[in-house]
Amino acid sequence: MADHKDQNKVFDIHADAYSDGIDESLSKFGTEHDFFTVHKSRLIPQVLAGMGKTPAEMSLMDVGCGVGVIHPYLQGTFASITGVDLSEPSIKVAQVQNPAVAYLAYDGDTLPAADNSVDMTLAICVMHHVPVAEWPAFSREMMRVLRPGGVAMVIEHNPYNPVTMRIVNTCPLDVDAVLLPARKTRALFSGAGAVDVKTRTVLSVPPKNAALQKLDTWLGHLPFGAQYYMTARKAETATA
């Protein structure tokens, strides 16, 4: 695979002010990064429950975790959390901020876990930073480490949403971004051997109260949300 040093340099630079860089872009639209982080921290266990999973019994590997901004909201939800990232400065910041989470450096090629060893892999707005030629290998790695029946979840920006595109184009951390349509993400994970591969959009409306949350869920079958999530399972009969 390609050398990841240049790809990761921008995250090393912004490790101590990760949220500030994103907030600068989001401020033009009247919101902050923390709003989206909280939304995702609630969405993840809801989606797992809908799949018949119990997060409290699951180990989570957060791939491309950055400085671990979502981990304070997920601690106590999962049996264990491991964060992996290319950026060693980001990992160091994350470890200080979240001492109960295990953090590991990641070379961008092979996830630091054995085959069939993790209940869930998660990549939040990570794949659009992965070089396009490496998308298939990245998807295979997320599936490789899963136990049979385990869940891979990807949350990505929706390139068909104009507000999303505006934010991405003005965010200093997204200078290398190549956004994936939901159908492409489904195809990648299907190609990696996943089963029950599904996507839904989120943030069609700001889910700031119960009524808007219900509406946003209903609108998830439409392709207009600001982001989307994909879920995929590893077949129960997998042996490798």
pLDDT in the model for residue 238: 52
**122, 146 Cβ separation under 8 angstroms:** no
Residue of 231, 229, 78 whose CA lies nearest to 149: 231
Name the band, by pLDDT with cuts 50, 70 and 90, for residue 167. confident
Please give the single-letter amino acid code of residue 50: G
Q: Is pLDDT at 21 greater than 60 in this prediction?
A: no
State pLDDT tens for residues 57-74.
999 999 999 999 999 999
* Nearby residues of 46 by Cβ (< 8 Å), 6 or more positions away: none
**Helical residues (DSSP H) of the chain, grouped into ranges:** 5-13, 18-26, 33-50, 71-74, 88-97, 135-144, 162-170, 182-191, 210-218
pLDDT in the model for residue 220: 79
DSSP 188-213: HHHHTT-EEEEEEEE-SS---SHHHH
Q: Is pLDDT at 16 greater than 80 in this prediction?
A: no
Q: Is pLDDT at 13 greater than 70 in this prediction?
A: no
pLDDT in the model for residue 33: 55
How do the residues of the chain divide into helix, strand and coil, expressed in percent and rounded to 5? 45, 20, 35
Q: Is pLDDT at 162 greater than 90 in this prediction?
A: no
Q: Is pLDDT at 163 greater than 60 in this prediction?
A: yes
Mean of pLDDT values over 116-145: 97
**206, 225 Cβ separation under 8 angstroms:** no
Name the band, by pLDDT with cuts 50, 70 and 90, for residue 209. confident
In the chain the domains, ranked by start, together with CATH numbers, are 5-108+118-233 (3.40.50.150)
pTM across the whole model: 0.84
